[in-house]
Each structure stands twice: as C-alpha cells, then as structure tokens.
Structure 1
C-alpha cells in the first residue's frame, strides 16, 4: 500500500513535506534560497529594516535589490498608516535599539515625501527627534531629496532644527559635522533661510554660510569662543601644548582638530578628558597607536572604567553591535590602514564586558533553552555592512547574551544533515558547542567562525532534540531564514516535538538579515520572530519564554 499521507497531511505527519516545497494549505512563499517560509508582514519587515538596514545586501540578495524590497515594504506601511510609521521610527531611533540611525532617517524622509498630509506633517515635526546631530540632519536632507522638494514644510522643519538649539550646542554641531554626503550646513541654511533668534545665532549662521575661518568671529559668549578656538587651531601653526590647552578650555572634539595635531599623545590626552563615550570607543586604536593608551597607563585605566560603565553606555545609546565591531577591530591590532597598534588587554576586557552591559539587565525566564546557531554558507554574509563581522559571528554574540542570562541552556550550531557532506562535512549537520559566556566574546566568535558550513536546515535543531530526547522549553534559532535543505519544515518539526515529548515547547526565530522571510508560523502562538541585534531582543526572548 502506498502511504499517500507521506506527501500530504494536515497534522505533524506532514513532516515529510520537504522545505523545498510549501506546507499544504499554508501561505508560505519561496525564499531567496529556493526553500519555503512565511512572508513577513510589511510592519514586521519595517522593524527588521529599521534595526538591520540593508547595507551590503545578503548572501542571496544584492544591496540594491534588498534596499528596494525594504523601501517598497516601508512605502506600503506609509500608505496604510503613515503616522504609525513615523511613531515607530521615532521609537526605534530614540530608544537606541538599532545599531545605526540611517534606516530611520531614510524611512522618515520617505514619510515626509510619500505620505498624505497628516503623515508629512508628523514626519517633519519629528525631524528634530530623529535627526539629533548635524550628521543626521545632512543624511536626512540627502534622503529627502529623493522623495520631495524644498517646500514650506521642509524649510520650516530644517529652520527649527537650527533655531531651537542653544547657541553653544548649535556651534558644537556646526563645527563637529560641517558636511556629509554632498550636503553642508551652508547648503541647508541657504535653502531654509532660518530667522535667527539672537545676534549670537546670526553670527553662527553667517560663519557657516561663509564657510568660516576667513573672518574671525567676534563676541565673548561661550559659543563664539568655541568657534574662535576651533578656527584658531586651523588658522595658526599651533603646537601640541597650545592645542591641548585650547581643547581643555573649550572642550573641543577630535573632529575639530587638524590631522597634524592628532599625531600627538598630549592632544589625545586632552581630548580624552571630555570625549563622548561613542567617540572614545571609535578612537581606541588611534589613542593606542600614539602611545596614550598603554599597559598600566592612567589613560588605559580611565578608558577601561568608562567603557565598562553600564549607566554611561545606556546614556550614550551605545549599541552592542558597535561594541562588538570595536572589540574585534581593536583586539586584531590592525584596521584598514597600514599602521597597526598593540592592543591593551585591560581595554579588550572592558569591551568584552561592555557588549553584555549594552543590552541592559535581562530578567531570566528560567526555562530550558536550546540556542541554535545557523552556520550555513549564507550566514557568511557581513552583518550591517560591517567588514569582518558575518551573520554567523553576530549570531554567536547575540546568543551569548541569552546564555549569560539563562542557566539551563545548551549551545548547538547547524547546517544541513544529508546535504552537509557535499561541502566536506560529516555527521548529522548539528554540532554541540562547548562555549560559555564566561569565555571571551572574541574567542567564542572565532570558534564559531571556524566551523564547516553547508546548506541550511533550520528544522535540524528540533529534529535532533527529539531524536536525542533533549528536554527543551524554548528553541532559539539564529538564522537568515534562507532554509531549504531539510525534509521537514521547522514549524512541523516543533509540533511533532511537542506531541511526542509532551512539552509545550516554543520557538523564537532571531532574524539576522533584513529580508522578508521567517520560519516562524504566524498562526502558531508558540512561535515568535524577533530582529537580530535589536538591543531589546534578549529581554523579548526571555519574556516570551516565560
């Protein structure tokens, strides 16, 4: 007798539906790898884009195609409920949950150009909240030009960005971020025609439009003194001691200092005294290269203390992925340039601690948790466009945060079972990982990076858990959702696991790419899709598991 139910069934016997075909009766769509998964709603994809962006594309999708797909999805949300899109953009931007602000600025520009009148008004009113720095404003101007012209609303919003700032803060922004992406403050001010609220603002506007440093700014206010001090470093042949004194007196930033002076340790020492935490993390290599940060030095101790300060990380909105990027680059001792540096161990340790601290305190669920890392070939794509950090590296880093929280956890990495031998691997395709959050983050990431890779079978962690009778309450799968190689869909495997093990197990899918797919069945309340490298993800996972 032929068992027709091997090929079509509605209960877990439908396990025999391969991932290369849709589950009968489901709304699954074909993913980029040729397998089948669920299509994210436009709103879910908007969240992925706001966190992950589309820089660098994915293994299967070019940067251009991925950006267009995400933009079309965002446009659909704007057409459905534009003010809701603007509110979501503001929430994600202000909370610091996303590694970068450019996707939020881009969607805000879309809303300001493509939305209906209430949406456009809401987007322009939100500009000062989302574009918090001069760089943000200039990025937004570059994006907005693709969707609309300079009408009255844009002029009013850009004018408010300048006029609502206190004079010293305005001077700071004009000096620190003079131009970006083909736009300058001179361009913005000439188009917006803001009306200065004081003579001090007028002087600052005049200096920016005249491209400054020609005629000295007159006035005794702190804002104008800041401008004169910065201009003086560029105009005069100031020596390092005089530059350090000016930096301390006026709290200048490294962007305001000429490159010739940044070769001196005493200049960096003065900058370090009031350096914002994000700038500090970005300039660790430079300060080490000039000898300021050295083993046992006071600067090294100061840097380590600031980097590992949880409250300071939160106030500065330092995102964990930026810490991970800094850790990997600094510990390597070499960046894109020719000059290297000798990493200082105490700073590396502080960066390792800062990664976990940047996620904030996570309340554990106390559930038995299986952390499953997709290490297939497609996960070798760079995450967030960052060179040297792949999706599989980022997955390992994310999983360590949950592992540090949940005492009853188990680590595995997976590719595909029967297909793995094609790429030289052996065994089931699933590898238990002997890693611990007590290990250094960069060591764990390096260990995961060295694993063999092959096809993608996202059901494998669940089928192997059933075969080995592992008791699991929550499966957490870190993947790009480009699964295709298995003989059973993950959702079907989970339902069989529940029935045969008698455990109401849940599945959390951590999406590591901003594509439009998920292996989580949206009709199953025991499955959840979250965005990889959303700073809120570890707590969301614990809450869902609980």
Structure 2
C-alpha cells in the first residue's frame, strides 16, 4: 500500500481521528467540537432537561453548565447579551435554559460578570413565574441572597407599574416553592411614599394591613372572582376585567360557559395548553361551538408573531391534541380536525416569512436509533421533530428532495403537501439502526443528484461510515463541480458537529431555533 493512500483523508473512517481538531462523540466516532459560543446557543434553544440516547439529563446539564461558565469567564458582556437576545426574541421553546444560564453567571468569581448576569434578570425573567424559577435556582446553586441578588430581584418589582405588577401577582401566585409573599419579605422592594397602590400590593401579598391603601382594580376583581360560587356571578367579572384562567377559582375550570367567557382573554400559549380542555367541555367541537374562533386565532399570522409562539411548542401541542389524552392527568377528548389543521398552519407561521433561495436542497433526516429519545422534554422524539422542521424548508423551497439515513439510505414517502401528523407517522415507521452522517452526500454522488445544499438533521452521534461527512462533502464537490454547502441542524445540546468549522461552506445551526429556517436560507443564498 502506498503512503499516499495511507495519509489520504478519504480513507479515514469515522472511528478514527481525521485531524487534531476532532473529538470523540458519545457513540465512539470522531466529529468536530463546537466552540463555547455555539454550544451556548444550542443549550439556550434546546436545553438539557431531556436525556439523549447516550447521556442522562443530569450529565448533559453538567456538561452544558461547564460550557456556560466558560462563556461567562471568556466574555461576560457577550454572554449576557446573547442570553437576553435569544430569550427576548422567543427563539427557544422554553425560557428555563436562559434563566439557568443567568443563575450560573451569578456564581462567577468576576464581579463584572456577576453584575452583568444580575442586570439581565429583568429582561430574561419577564414573568413572576420566571422570577420564582430564578430564585429557586439561586438557592439550589448555593449562591445565597446577598445584597446584589436582592437588589436585582427588588428591581423586578420596582420597575413595573402597579397595574402590570397586579397582573403578575394575580396570574402567577406561586411557582417552584416561591410566592410573592416569600420573595417580598426576603428582598423588601421599595415604594415611594406617594405610591399607594404599590404599597398596597406589597402589603396584600404579605397579608398585611392595607391601612387605607387601595389595591389596583384588577386585584379587587380577582379577589371578588375567588369568592364566587356560580358561573353567573363569575362571568361578568371575567368579561369586565379580562381575567385569565389563572386568576379565577379552580371550580370554574370545569364549566364550559366560563371557558367561553375566558376565550377572548386567552394568550396563544394558554390557548395551546387548554385545547384539550376546550374540546372535552364542548367549547370546541366538530360542528359549531367556538371552533372557528379558535382556529382563526391560531392561524392569525400577526398574533402568532407578536406572541412569539415557538414552532416546537406548537408541534408538541399538536401531537398531544391529536392523541386525544393529556400527558398528565386523565382528561380525554375527541380531536377536532379543524383545530388540527389550524395547528398545522400555525407551525409554519411561527417560523416567520422565509424568502426562497431557489437552490436545490437535499433534506436528510437522521433516522438512527439515537434519534428516538424525546426532545426538549416533550412527547416527540428528535427524529419526529426533525422531520417536521424539515417541512418548513420544504414548504419554502420548490427544489427539494427528502432522504432518511442511519447506516444506509432510506427512501421517505414525504411530500411538502403532507400534514405534520402524516409526516410524523411516516418517519416513525422506519427501521432504526446505527448512524453514518456521510450517507446523504455519498448517496447524492452515486445517484447523480444535483445538490446545492445538503441539510442534515442529526444528533451528530455518527460513527459507522468509512469516510467522514466533511470529506464526503468535499468528494461530492470535486466529482460534480457543484460548490455544495452543508448545513447541520443539531437536534440535541451536545457539543458535537459533523460540520468542519474551518470550511466556509459548512454551517452548524441549532435545530428548532425559531430563526433556523431563515438562517439556513441566508447561508445558502450567500
């Protein structure tokens, strides 16, 4: 054997290191390591509250925590800004990773880093539920509530108008073992002498004497609602004061007429969570009821945009609603097709308007065994979620083709005209096995496919191939003359990617970032 063939990277299997920039993944294959900033993005969007095929949620969280701490140490300003940016833009299905990342920043040895983390609390913890989660994390991390932490949490109360504070205090009364009484008594937020309503809110939360101070009208309406025993007494209060379902007594949540009154006040997230309840109670039904109103609300592009409703949240809600039973509890319902169709439309609306590139896309779905674990703590596997995500590109790009891969190529009967439930069902019936992420590029070469952009949705746990994916792309480029690009959509928050960071034609993105489809189009277009 010649020395030329011995050093040729095309002959290096994925179980061997291609160069010194590679690291071993959880499956034993060699891939490229994400830098700390790319991994921060993955964690902020995908979180680590669900285990992967190879790692427990605890182990994955510890790994990500070390990476986040490295970001705080390397550049605290950049870290804080990125956390705020992704959180406020609604690019993640959950805000919990951003809150956790801020809490880690408060542990820094650098005073400036701690200050940057605490300064971002109001921006990231936009609801009392978020604030209580942050408080619980501070306790769990052993940080303690020193002067700077107390000042940051006090600022959350002090920087809201009495009306907005009243809304938060009546809607989110307790979370994570915290109440407003517990927090206020711990941090003692300030109120000016003339700020009678704020003083009243603090005293009411702590069950103190109001001493003539008048509570905001919303709190008085909430208190009146909590004393009601009949729907006929409660509904006028809901309609007059626009009360939400969290601000009324629990007995009322089994009454269809109460839910009809609540419907105009339901935010998009609350609507998603309560679709099963609305259907079970007959507010939503196949013919009649308030079905058209619900469907119209879900497919209102401007409402979806303003609510920052995340596509994964919609997809997860669709899977639960279509199943006809709640994930927790015993509630069941008969799914209504109009609502399923509306959720399907809402999913694509949540990605925003994407300008087509006109390029030829090979949408390559990793259907190996390791993609079978639940994603982001939901009911869908990473495999099913990636299939749905690929549909957002397929809907915008006329020239596309689907393939599935494990250790070989699988033909997929997926069409951009299919509904999301059909797509998920088709991907769930495939035989699963080991992973070779070079398969899409080698298949395209063998089949004579003309591809401008390979989009690979994967957990990056590849190890089976006789050639590294990055080398397979280079081989495709050489033999076809097409300057094809590779986009890797990482579907778990591990620190790996098959994309070579030194190749400008390869791009790693976070799977289910709400901006992902637009970012992919921009990269392909560039």
C-alpha distance in 2, partners of 1:147/1:6?
56
Partner of 1:182: 177
Which of 66, 81, 85 is the equivalent residue of 2:79? 85
Partner of 2:7: 8
> 3-state DSSP class of the match of 1:20?
coil
Q: CA deviation at 1:26?
A: 3.6
C-alpha distance in 2, partners of 1:69/1:467?
39
Mean alpha-carbon deviation: is it higher for 192-201 or for 475-484?
192-201
1:506 aligns with 2:485: yes
Mean alpha-carbon deviation: is it higher for 439-448 or for 507-516?
439-448
Mean alpha-carbon deviation: is it higher for 145-154 or for 459-468?
145-154
> 3-state DSSP class of the match of 1:194?
coil
Partner of 1:518: 497
Partner of 1:196: 191
Q: CA deviation at 1:220?
A: 6.1
Partner of 1:308: 299
After superposition, give the CA deviation of every residue in 1:47-105 in whole Å (9 maximum; x if it has no partner): 00000000112110111110000000010111111111000000001111111101001
Q: CA deviation at 1:382?
A: 0.7
Partner of 1:426: none
Change (3 A) 1:521 1:356: same
Q: CA deviation at 1:434?
A: 2.6
Q: CA deviation at 1:234?
A: 3.0
> 3-state DSSP class of the match of 1:113?
coil
Partner of 2:406: 415
Partner of 1:377: 369
1:52 aligns with 2:46: yes
| 1:217/1:228 contact within 8 Å kept | no
| 2:282/2:289 contact within 8 Å kept | no
| 2:455/2:487 contact within 8 Å kept | yes
Partner of 2:153: 158
Where in structure 1 are there 5+ consecutive unaligned residues?
Answer: 417-428
C-alpha distance in 1, partners of 2:411/2:453?
17
Which of 57, 67, 73 is the equivalent residue of 2:61? 67
1:172 aligns with 2:167: yes
Q: How does 1:162-311 map to 2 (within 5 A)?
A: 162-197=157-192, 198-210=195-207, 223=216, 225-236=217-228, 238-311=229-302
Aligned residues: 521
Partner of 1:368: 360
> 3-state DSSP class of the match of 1:96?
coil
Q: CA deviation at 1:144?
A: 2.2
1:18 aligns with 2:13: yes
After superposition, give the CA deviation of every residue in 1:379-428 in whole Å (9 maximum; x if it has no partner): 00111011x20000110011000001111100000000xxxxxxxxxxxx
Q: CA deviation at 1:295?
A: 2.1
1:390 aligns with 2:381: yes
Q: CA deviation at 1:142?
A: 1.3
Q: CA deviation at 1:122?
A: 2.0
| 1:412/1:431 contact within 8 Å kept | yes
> 3-state DSSP class of the match of 2:455?
strand
Mean alpha-carbon deviation: is it higher for 283-292 or for 111-120?
111-120
C-alpha distance in 2, partners of 1:282/1:465?
42
Scaled by the length of structure 2, what TM-score is found?
0.96
| 1:216/1:228 contact within 8 Å kept | no
Partner of 2:36: 42
C-alpha distance in 2, partners of 1:370/1:180?
45
Scaled by the length of structure 1, what TM-score is found?
0.93
1:347 aligns with 2:339: yes
C-alpha distance in 2, partners of 1:302/1:218?
43
| 1:40/1:517 contact within 8 Å kept | yes
Mean alpha-carbon deviation: is it higher for 256-265 or for 128-137?
256-265
Change (3 A) 1:179 1:217: farther
Which of 442, 447, 451 is the equivalent residue of 1:463? 442
| 1:241/1:266 contact within 8 Å kept | no
After superposition, give the CA deviation of every residue in 1:101-130 in whole Å (9 maximum; x if it has no partner): 010011111112315222222222221111
C-alpha distance in 1, partners of 2:33/2:59?
17
After superposition, give the CA deviation of every residue in 1:2-21 in whole Å (9 maximum; x if it has no partner): 24444422xxxx22211111
> 3-state DSSP class of the match of 1:371?
strand
After superposition, give the CA deviation of every residue in 1:231-272 in whole Å (9 maximum; x if it has no partner): 233334x20121111111121111122221111101001111
